[in-house]
C-alpha cells in the first residue's frame, strides 16, 4: 500500500514538474529579431531635442508606436537618404500598421540643417517622420548617450564640409524601451520584420 502511494506521488510530482517546465518555457519565450537584440541596454535613453516644427520632444511622446531613431545630416550623399528611404519602405510594408511607426532623424549638422531644411528633407521620405535638432552641445550630449560618433570633415570651402558619423538605427518598442540596433545595410525587410515583431508583441 505504501509502495503504491509512493509511486502515485512520484507520478504526480513528475507531471507537476513537467507542467511547470512548460509554463516556464512559455513565459520565457523571447521575441527574436533580425537586428542586434539590445533589450535592457542602459544607454540611448531619450531624445530631448526640438523637432522641425519647433516642438520639444521626448520618447514618451510616441508611446503606442514603435520608434526608429537614426542620426545623420541632410547633405549626406548616400548612407542617410538610403536609411530614410528604407524606413519609408518599412512604413509602406506595414500597411495600416504603418501609423504605429514613428521615424526620427537626428541631425549631427545643426549649422546647415535648419528647421526648414529638415522639414523639406523629411517630406522626401514621409511627412510623418520628424527631424530633431538643438544646439551643438545638446546634440553632442544626445549623441554621446547613443554612442554615436560624428566629426566634421573640412571641404574645399567653409560650407562644403562633410560629416563622418555612425550609421545604424535604434528601434524602441511601444512603451519606449530600447530593443534593437539595426546595422546600416541590413535592408528594409530586416528592419520591417523587427518592427512588425514589436508591434505584434504589443498586441
Check: CB of residue 71 under 8 Å from CB of residue 143.
yes
- Residue 80 labelled as part of a binding site: yes
| SS3 category, 70 | strand
Question: Among 191, 164, 201, 16, which Cα is nearest to 88's?
Answer: 191
Stated as kind and residue range, the H or E segment containing 89 is helix 79-93
* Residue where the block lists cell 542617410: 80
Q: Is 95 helix (H, G, I), strand (E, B) or coil?
A: helix
Helices 188-202/79-93 angle, 10° precision: 50
CA atoms within 13 A on the CB side of 2: 0
Positive or negative CA dihedral for 47, 129, 31, 182?
negative
165 is in an annotated binding site: yes
Distances (CA, A) of 37 to 96, 170, 190: 26, 10, 13
Give the CA distances from residue 62 to residues 13, 35, 99, 103, 177, in Å, rounded to whole numbers and listed in that order. 48, 22, 11, 10, 11
Known binding residues: 76, 80, 165
Binding residues for Cu cation: 76, 80, 165
Amino acid at each position: 500500500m505504501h509502495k503504491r502511494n509512493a509511486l502515485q506521488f512520484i507520478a504526480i510530482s513528475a507531471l507537476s514538474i513537467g507542467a511547470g517546465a512548460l509554463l516556464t518555457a512559455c513565459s520565457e519565450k523571447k521575441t527574436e529579431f533580425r537586428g542586434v537584440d539590445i533589450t535592457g541596454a542602459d544607454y540611448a535613453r531619450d531624445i530631448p531635442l526640438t523637432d522641425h516644427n519647433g516642438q520639444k520632444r521626448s520618447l514618451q511622446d510616441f508611446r503606442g508606436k514603435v520608434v526608429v531613431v537614426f542620426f545623420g545630416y541632410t547633405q549626406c550623399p548616400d548612407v542617410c537618404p538610403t536609411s530614410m528611404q528604407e524606413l519609408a519602405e518599412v512604413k509602406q510594408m506595414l500597411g495600416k500598421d504603418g501609423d504605429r511607426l514613428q521615424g526620427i532623424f537626428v541631425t549631427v549638422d545643426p549649422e546647415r540643417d535648419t528647421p526648414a531644411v529638415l522639414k523639406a528633407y523629411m517630406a522626401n521620405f514621409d511627412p510623418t517622420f520628424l527631424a530633431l535638432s538643438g544646439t551643438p552641445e545638446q546634440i553632442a550630449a544626445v549623441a554621446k548617450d547613443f554612442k554615436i560618433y560624428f566629426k566634421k570633415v573640412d571641404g574645399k570651402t567653409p560650407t562644403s564640409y562633410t560629416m563622418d558619423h555612425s550609421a545604424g538605427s535604434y528601434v524602441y518598442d511601444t512603451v519606449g524601451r530600447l530593443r534593437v540596433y539595426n546595422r546600416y545595410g541590413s535592408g528594409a525587410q530586416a528592419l520591417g520584420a523587427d518592427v512588425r515583431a514589436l508591434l505584434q508583441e504589443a498586441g
